[in-house]
Amino acid sequence: MSYLSISHVTKQFGDAVVVDNFNLDIEKGEFVSFLGPSGCGKTTTLRMVAGFEIPTSGKILLDGADITDKAPNQRNVGMIFQSYALFPNMTVAQNIGFGLRVRKESEAMIKQRVDEMVSLINLEKHANKYPYQLSGGQQQRVSLARALANRPQVLLLDEPLSALDAKIRVSLRAEIRAIQKSLGITAIFVTHDQEEALSISDRIVVMNVGEMEQVGTPFEIYNFPKTRFVANFVGSLNTADAEVVDPAKGLVSMDGVQFEAAEGTDARKKGDKVKIAVRPERFSFASEQKKANVVDCTIENITFLGAVVRIQVKIGNTKFNMDTFNNPFLELPKIGAKEQVTCSKEAVLVLDE
């Protein structure tokens, strides 16, 4: 049996169904991210696990116990908020020790645990400072330590990095993941940032308008999106209208240009309207070794993005982006030049129109 089980959970606010029949089993020590655009129901689902919202129907089981209707302070669940939510009237040490004081632990135990937590987040020198004397990143680390001090069964993180600048965000997410792994704590992380979700999670739940679109490892979600929404939402994607030419061979035609796909055509018949999708990094300039999906194109534009160079090419009447890693010796084609690009047949995703 799974450690945290969210079973057939639906949440309605008035007539609006915000979360619809959500089912998810999470194993102990697993790090799961809820990824989706604003209003997709990810935060509401998290808040139902925290106890701040009660599901309209369905059950939430934690370590076998039904916590669906339990008050938030009766669940042993730690929560981290986007706005840090540190108590402004308390120092770092007092914030971290708050939950332990509520539980009426001994002062010696509280001190020991606070010291442990302060050292875990490397803020030993700041233990007696007030939240307003800390940077955003430091405040969020204190928030993490405060949530962990109570040894919660599940750690819930509600867009904890959204208010931080890009560099701190990257370093803090690595820190969160490292601490979560070292403590072996089960965690649910809500984000709308796909890069964050992909880099930090064991599994990702992609959500859209209250429903789960796909659950899988970051690798599966990125490389094998099951729906058009997931394909579009996670990573960049080139899409174009196409028509099935030969379902058995996986051939589809876009503006008369043929692409061969590894899968996705078996259940279709000749003449079916579909969308083909190819990630920009799956294209490359054609060389002699690569024989599949070699197509003519014209170079339309070149954009330097730092580590990546994005080349816009026109295949038939459709513009596609092609990403290639930057290096100082990269020879880039001229704009307007006629070239050939290629991608493997596995790179061509055939989606519903």
CA distance 343 to 145: 47
Question: What are the helix (H) ranges across 184-262?
Answer: 194-200, 218-223, 228-233
Residue 131 interacting with other proteins (CB under 8 A): yes
Q: How far is the CB of 157 from other proteins (least distance, A)?
A: 12
Residue 154 interacting with other proteins (CB under 8 A): no
Among 36, 55, 78, 247, the residue binding other proteins under the rule CB under 8 A is: 78
Structure tokens at 84: 């840090």
Structure tokens at 199: 């880099």
State the Rg of the chain over Cα: 25
Among 36, 41, 55, 99, the residue binding other proteins under the rule CB under 8 A is: 99
Residue 163 interacting with other proteins (CB under 8 A): no
Residue 132 interacting with other proteins (CB under 8 A): yes
Residue 42 interacting with other proteins (CB under 8 A): no
Whole-angstrom CA distances from 58 to 11, 12, 23 are 9, 12, 9
Residue 289 interacting with other proteins (CB under 8 A): no
Answer for the pair 52, 36: CB distance below 8 angstroms, yes or no.
no
Residue 162 interacting with other proteins (CB under 8 A): no
Answer for the pair 275, 353: CB distance below 8 angstroms, yes or no.
yes
Q: How far is the CB of 231 from other proteins (least distance, A)?
A: 35
Query: For residues 188 and 274, which CB has a smaller minimum distance to other proteins in the complex?
Result: 188
Residue 130 interacting with other proteins (CB under 8 A): yes
Residue type, 214: Q
Q: How far is the CB of 74 from other proteins (least distance, A)?
A: 8
Residue 83 interacting with other proteins (CB under 8 A): yes
Residue 259 interacting with other proteins (CB under 8 A): no
Q: Applying CB under 8 A, which part among 21-29, 76-84, 224-232, 253-261 lies near other proteins?
A: 76-84
Q: How far is the CB of 76 from other proteins (least distance, A)?
A: 8
Q: Residue 170, SS3?
A: helix
Answer for the pair 65, 76: CB distance below 8 angstroms, yes or no.
no
Among 18, 32, 35, 147, the residue binding other proteins under the rule CB under 8 A is: 147
CA distance 88 to 309: 46
Among 73, 119, 128, 326, the residue binding other proteins under the rule CB under 8 A is: 73
Cα angle, residue 211 at apex, residues 209 and 214 outer, rounded to 5°: 120
The alpha carbon of 74 is separated from its chain's Cα centroid by a whole number of angstroms, namely: 29
Residues in touch with other proteins (CB under 8 A): 50-52, 71-73, 77-79, 81, 83, 85-89, 98-99, 102-103, 130-132, 139, 143, 146-147, 150, 156
